[in-house]
Amino acid sequence: MSCENYEIQVSAYVDRELSDREAETLFRHLGVCPSCRKVLSDALELRSGLGEQEPLLAPEELDENVLRIVRSRRDRQPDRDAVPGSIWKRRLSLRVPVLAVAASVLVFASLVVSFLWLESTQQNGNAKVQTLFLTAVPTVEVQAYSLEPVTTIQ
């Protein structure tokens, strides 16, 4: 490996990104290469120097601006106080199985009534029981029983 490659390894070593095996190989080279040793000492000195930099603190105006806007978003959409979209996603995902269940009930109910109606017309040719269905998803509501033939269905 050339010195340039070792120098890159030095930089990665300082960042603790070398495997044990790579570090071992590097240190064997550092033992015989003053130029690469200088690269290591420069990198460590740079780290130390950057670590001494004055900390940069966020100004108070940042607090005021961010928290004010977040609060106003919350006030505008109280139901979305959780992460936007998540509450609505939960409500939407809750509706789907309810709709599916309602549709299944409708189909089943229709089949049962149809069967009963057919049976009753076969057994009793004069009396016909018709069940009027007025449906509004997801509920099924029986409005009336009529002994007279129904000519219109609303």
Partner 1 sequence: MDPARDQQLVESIRKHGSLAFVQLYHRYKHRVYAYCYRILQHPQNAEDAAQETFLKIHRFLDQLEDAGSLQSWIFTIARNEAFTLLRRTKPTEDLDDISDDVWDEHTPLDRIVAQERSELLRHCLGQLRPAYRDILVLREFEQLSYTEISQVTNLSESAVKSALFKARKSIAKKLEELLKER
User: Which residues of the shown chain bind partner 1 in the complex (CB under 8 A)?
Assistant: 7-8, 10-12, 15, 17, 39, 42-43, 45-47, 49-53, 55-59, 61-63, 65-67, 69-71, 73-74, 81-86, 89
CA dist 61 and 66 (Å) reads: 9
Residue 43: CB minimum distance to partner 1, A: 5
85 or 98: CB nearest partner 1: 85
Q: Least distance in Å: CB of 36 to partner 1? A: 11
3-state secondary structure of 133: strand
Dig out the tokens for 135 from the structure: 């449906």
d(CA 108, CA 126): 27
Asked whether the beta carbons of 33 and 3 are under 8 A apart, the reply is yes
- Considering the complex, what minimum distance in angstroms separates the CB of residue 32 from partner 1? 20
